[in-house]
Amino acid sequence: MRRILLVTVLVTLFAVLAVWGQEPVVDLDAALALLPGEDVMIEYSDAGRAQLEAAIDAFRVALCVPDDLNEKSEDAVDAFSVDPAQKDLVNKLAQCYYTLADVFLGGEPNEEATYIMGKHWGLKSLRMNPEFARLEKEESFIAAVEAETDVPALYWANANWLRVAEFDKLGAITGGVPPKSEAISLRVLELEPTYIVYGPYRSLGAFWGGLPRLPFGTYRKNFERALGYFCYLADEPDYCADCDGCTFDPICNEYFENRLFFVEFYLMEKELWEDAARILESVLAEPIGDKHPLYNALSQEKARKFLEDVKDHL
């Protein structure tokens, strides 16, 4: 009996040591399977977070990113050599960094740093286009954006950049971020307005509704402009009757963040509490579904929190 027990312990020990000496297995195919289209297909759970973090590791390994690369340094990421054939993986890495920070890292110490890394990889992807790099250097960043055609690179560079700006809005304004960010969103809107279920409209609506109330200047809170974009996302005829050319696509209701952004960056900002409550309740009344499991679940959690605040004002 003792001999059998000793053999079992030794076999287990050798197995542990064998695994211990190996590099962790990172599956690129599994990572790519999480992004079969434009959205990240994971659940809003600890297991989903683990899948997303594994995907980030897989993309970094596939791109041969060394552990000592300072991804928080734009210069370091720009200088890092990437095969042009892997540009799509760079875009996916930028998207996964954004998603990790946006969905799972709220309030955690590494939230801002994760957005910064996502921004740098998004900008890296843009500059991997020689024409973009040339125009940025010889003319301007905005000129380069206006000639760019890589929608995911544009969108995820900007999504991360806007989140970074939220940590210091006034600093971002004085640093010239708003015109560059607006140029990116307008270019995506021109190229692919329905990307991520009308994502460019979400970005622009939140952009104009989320700016500070500065006393002067172009880039300050502008509800009229915000509404002009939100009317493509929310089926609200009473608000959008005067919106020239605004056409609501019913598919927008399938992505709960469209209505959530309308509430967060327009109705709540204008203290329109009854309509805010009505729309938040509509988000909570619908099943999450299987098209957008991550962001619909997150949007419902946010809707519950917003509704508590809104009800305090009714």
What value does the CA radius of gyration of the chain take, rounded to a whole number of Å?
Answer: 22
Work out the number of other CB atoms within 10 angstroms of the CB of residue 126: 25
What is the per-residue pLDDT for 245? Answer: 82
What is the per-residue pLDDT for 215? Answer: 73
Looking at the chain, the whole-number percentage of residues with pLDDT higher than 70 is 92
What mean pLDDT is predicted for residues 222-244?
94
What is the per-residue pLDDT for 80? Answer: 98
- Return the structure tokens found at 181: 């960010």
Give the DSSP letter of residue 264. Answer: I
> How many angstroms separate the CA atoms of 203 and 83, rounded?
30
Residue 50 CB partners (closer than 8 Å, separation 6+):
none
Tens of pLDDT along 22-51?
344 469 999 999 999 999 999 999 999 999
> How many angstroms separate the CA atoms of 271 and 302, rounded?
18
What angle, rounded to 10 degrees, do the helices at 293-311 and 273-285 form?
140
Distance, CA of 78 to chain centre: 21
Domain limits, the chain: 27-179, 193-314
What is the per-residue pLDDT for 136? Answer: 98
What is the per-residue pLDDT for 26? Answer: 63
> How many angstroms separate the CA atoms of 266 and 93, rounded?
31
Query: Which residue, 256, 258, 232, is CA-closest to 243?
Result: 232
DSSP string, 269-283: TTT-HHHHHHHHHHH
- Within 13 Å and on the Cβ side, how many CA atoms surround 74? 10
What is the per-residue pLDDT for 234? Answer: 95
* pLDDT, the chain, mean: 92
SS3 for 11? helix
Task: Answer whether residue 217 shows pLDDT above 50.
Answer: yes
Tens of pLDDT along 38-91?
999 999 999 999 999 999 999 999 999 999 999 999 999 999 999 999 999 999
> How many angstroms separate the CA atoms of 224 and 209, rounded?
9
Tens of pLDDT along 241-274?
888 888 999 999 999 999 999 999 999 999 999 9
> How many angstroms separate the CA atoms of 125 and 246, rounded?
32
What mean pLDDT is predicted for residues 279-287?
98
What is the per-residue pLDDT for 111? Answer: 98
For the entire predicted model, the pTM comes to: 0.90
SS3 for 101? helix
Distant-in-sequence contacts of 246-255, Cβ < 8 A, 24+ apart:
249/194, 249/198, 251/197, 252/197, 252/198, 253/286, 254/197, 254/289, 254/291, 254/292, 255/196, 255/197, 255/198, 255/291, 255/292, 255/295, 255/296
What is the per-residue pLDDT for 170? Answer: 86
The one-letter amino acid code at 206 reads A
